[in-house]
Amino acid sequence: MPVYEYKDLLLNIIEQDSEYFGYFEAAKEHKLVVKKCLDCDLLRGEPGASCPWCSSMRSEWHEVSGKGTIYSYQIIPHAILPGFRDWTPYPVVLVELDEQSGKPLEHDGLRITANLLDENMNPEHEENVAIGKRVNVVFQDMENGLTLPQFTLSDEEPAGAIWRYPNT
Amino acid sequence: MESALKDKYSIVGIGETDYTRGSGRSTRALAIEAIRNAVTDAGLKMQDIDGMLSYHGGDSVNSSTLAYDMGAQLNFYMDCSGGGSSTEALIGLAIGAIEAGMCETVAIFRSMNGYSQVRIGGTGSRASTPVSGPGLMTRPYGLASAVQSFAFSFTRHMMEYGVTSEDLARVKVAHSNHASNNPKALMKQRVTVDDVVNSRWIVRPCAHLLDCCLETDNATCIIVTSAERAKDLKQQPVYIRAVQGRGTKPGGDFHYQHGPISRVAGHYVGPRIFDLADLSHDDIDVTGCYDAFTYTVVLQFEAYGFCKEGEGKDYIKSGIVNLGDKRPNNTSGGHLCEAYTHGMNMVIENTRQLRGIVDDYCPDWQNGNHTYDYSEGGCRQVRNVNTTMNMGWASPATGSALILRR
Ligand SMILES: [Zn+2]
C-alpha cells in the first residue's frame, strides 16, 4: 500500500482510490492529468467518480498542457502543519488551466491547487505572486518515489491585468 | 412557495455551558449541563425529552450515551456529521421528526472541547491524521485550516470588489462592541480597526488573527416542540417561521469547477427561505450571520441579498449592523467575540432577543427591563424585535438559514 511521508504528513495514495491514484501515478511520469468523460468529452477540475454534466461513470485520465493562469492565491506566514514551518511565508495558488476555461458555463474552469515555486523548487517570493500571472506545471520528485505537481511562473505575458493586494 | 408548517413549531428552551478555553471536562459532561440548562429554561424535565439531534466532527458525544445520564427514553435520535450551518438544518429535521409522529420534544445539542481537544483551526489532534481522498489535493500543499481552505474565495472577492483589510476589520469592531455588553462573552474587550489590522497575519491578504473566531470549549442546546405544546411551557414561545438548508452551490465544490468562486451558497438558500417564510429583507429586525471569519459575514450579506454583490463591505460600513441601528448583527458578539459554537450561539441569541430578555448588564434584564443604552458594559437588547434571521455557513459552498418570529 503506497504511503508516502512528505513534510511530516502521511499521504495514503492507495490503488483502490480510483479518484486520485491515477493522478499521482501520472505525476510520476511528469504528466498533469484531469478526468475526461468518455460520453460527453468534457474535462473536470476535481477528478470525481462521475461526470457532473452527463452522469456518465466512464472516464479516462487525459493529459493537459500544464499551462494556466493564477485565479486566486494565498500567502501563509503562519503554518498550521509543522512540516511547512521552514517554508513560511509560502504561497498556495489556485490555477485555472488553459483547457476548457469558461466552459461549459461562463464562470466554469478546471482549477487546481498547488504551491507556486521558484526555479530551485523553493516557495516563490510573495511579491511575485498575483492573480492573472501565467504559470506552468513543474514536477517535484521526492526520494521516496512521490511526485507532486506544482506550478512555477512562466515567461509568457499575462492576457489581462494582474492583481495582488497592495503593500503585502 | 410558502411553508405549510410556518409558525407551527417553536423554540421553547435554550441553554449553554460557560464559554472557556480549558473546560477540564468531557464533552459528555458539557453536553449534559447545556441540555439541563435548556430543559430548565423551558420548564421541562430531562425525561420529557424524547427526541435528540446533534452534530459533530468526530469530536463529541452521542445522544444514546446522554440518554443514560438524562434517564430519558428516546423515541428518536440522530447524531449527524457536520459543522457550521448544521444548527439551522437540524431545527428543520426536528420539525420533520415531530411532524412524522416519531417524537414530541427534541433537544438539539453541540458539544465540543474546541480549544483544549479537537481544534477546527487544524492544530491539535487533527494535524497528524493521515491524508487520503480529496485532502490529497490540498494538504500536501500546506493547506490545513478552515480559513486556508476558504481563502481562495476571499482573495478573489477582494480583487473583484476592492475589499480592504480595514473593511473586514469593521465586522470585528461591530461584534466586539456587542460582546462588551455580554457577560458570557470570551472576548469582551472592544477593539478598533487598527487593533485588527495590526494583529498578526494568519493568511495574507484576507485574514489577520482578529479576523478569526475564538476556538472555544463549550456545549449548547436548543429545544424544539410544537407551537401547541409550547403554549403550556415556561417561556414566551419563539416561532419557527421557516428553515432552509444545508444547501450547496451547483456541484457543491468550493472552487475547482464552478464559478464565480466569490459567490457563496446563500445565493441559492436565500430566495428559498424568504419564499418559505413569505417575508422579505425589510421584515428582518436582527441578523445572526455565521462569523467564523470576518469575511464570511461580508459574503453572506451579499449572497442573501441584504445588499448587492460587492457591497457587503459598504453594508457593514454604513453601521446598519450595529446595536442601535436598523438591523443589528450578531448582538452577542458571535463567533468572533462571544464563542465559537458551530452556529448554535447565534440562534440562541436571536431567541433571547425575541423573548426580550437578553442577559446583558441591565440590572433588571431577567424581567425584560432594559436601558437600551448600548455603551460599553450596558444593554444589548434590541427594541421591538419581531423577526430574526440566521445565516449559517459551513464553507463557501454550503449554507443554511432560519427565520424566527415572536
Ligand atoms: Zn459527461
> Where exactly are the structural domains of chain B?
9-118+215-230, 239-405
Q: What pLDDT shows up at residue B1? A: 87
Does the pLDDT at position B104 exceed 90? Answer: yes
Q: What pLDDT shows up at residue B126? A: 61
| For A12, nearest residue in chain B (alpha carbons) | B132
Q: 501515478: which residue's cell?
A: A25
Q: What pLDDT shows up at residue B336? A: 98
Cα A103 to ligand 1 centroid, rounded to whole Å: 13
Q: What pLDDT shows up at residue A18? A: 86
Mean pLDDT of B22-38: 97
Q: pLDDT, tens digit, for every residue of A32-55?
A: 999 999 999 999 988 889 999 999
Cα A135 to ligand 1 centroid, rounded to whole Å: 28
Distance from CA of A67 to the nearest CA of B (A): 16
Report the DSSP beta bridge partners of residue A33: A63
A151-165, B18-32, B128-142: which range is least confident on average? B128-142
- Residues from chain B that touch A114, judged by Cβ atoms under 8 A, are 141
Mean pLDDT of B278-293: 98
Buried b / exposed e across A147-159, counting CB within 10 Å, b at 16+? bbbbbbbeeeeee
Mean pLDDT of B217-244: 97
Given pLDDT bands bounded at 50, 70 and 90, which one contains residue B277? very high
| For A93, nearest residue in chain B (alpha carbons) | B152
Does the pLDDT at position B122 exceed 70? Answer: no
Mean pLDDT of B32-53: 98
Q: What pLDDT shows up at residue B254? A: 86
Mean pLDDT of A82-102: 97
Of B77, B290, B315, B374, the active-site residue reads: B290
Instruction: Name the residue ranges covered by the structural domains of chain A.
Output: 3-153
Mean pLDDT of A96-121: 96
**Is B374 a catalytic site residue?**
no
Does the pLDDT at position A150 exceed 90? Answer: yes
Pick the CATH number of B9-118+215-230 from 3.40.47.10, 1.10.274.30, 1.10.3720.10, 2.60.40.1180: 3.40.47.10
Q: pLDDT, tens digit, for every residue of B171-215?
A: 999 999 999 999 999 999 999 999 999 999 999 999 999 999 999
Give residue A140's identity as a one-letter amino acid code: Q
**8 Å CB contact of A10 and B158:** no
Mean pLDDT of B74-98: 97
Does the pLDDT at position B120 exceed 90? Answer: no
DSSP string, B252-281: G-SSSSSS-TTS-THHHHHHHHHHHHT--G
Q: Are strands A9-12 and A147-153 parallel, antiparallel or unpaired?
A: unpaired
pTM of the shown model: 0.97
To 10 degrees, what angle do helices B86-99 and B344-355 make? 70
Whole-complex ipTM: 0.97
Whether the ω angle into residue B204 lies within 30 degrees of 0, i.e. cis, is no
Cα A44 to ligand 1 centroid, rounded to whole Å: 9
How confident is the prediction for chain B on average, in pLDDT? Answer: 96
Does the pLDDT at position A138 exceed 90? Answer: yes
- Residues from chain A that touch B210, judged by Cβ atoms under 8 A, are none
Q: What pLDDT shows up at residue B125? A: 58
- Contact at 8 Å (CB) between B397 and B84? no
Residue A160 touches chain B, beta carbons under 8 Å? no
**Is B340 a catalytic site residue?**
yes
Given pLDDT bands bounded at 50, 70 and 90, which one contains residue B124? low
- Do B9-118+215-230 and B239-405 fold alike per CATH? yes
CATH 3.40.47.10 fits B239-405, yes or no: yes
Q: What pLDDT shows up at residue A17? A: 87
Percent of chain B clearing pLDDT 70 (strictly above): 98
Residue A72 touches chain B, beta carbons under 8 Å? yes
Q: What pLDDT shows up at residue B368? A: 96
**8 Å CB contact of B140 and A148:** yes
Percent of chain B clearing pLDDT 90 (strictly above): 94
Residue A112 touches chain B, beta carbons under 8 Å? yes
Does the pLDDT at position B62 exceed 80? Answer: yes
Q: Are strands A3-6 and A111-117 parallel, antiparallel or unpaired?
A: unpaired
Whether the ω angle into residue B205 lies within 30 degrees of 0, i.e. cis, is yes
Mean pLDDT of B29-46: 98
Residue A1 touches chain B, beta carbons under 8 Å? no
Does the pLDDT at position A1 exceed 70? Answer: no
**8 Å CB contact of B202 and A78:** yes
Mean pLDDT of B361-390: 98
Residue B125 touches chain A, beta carbons under 8 Å? no
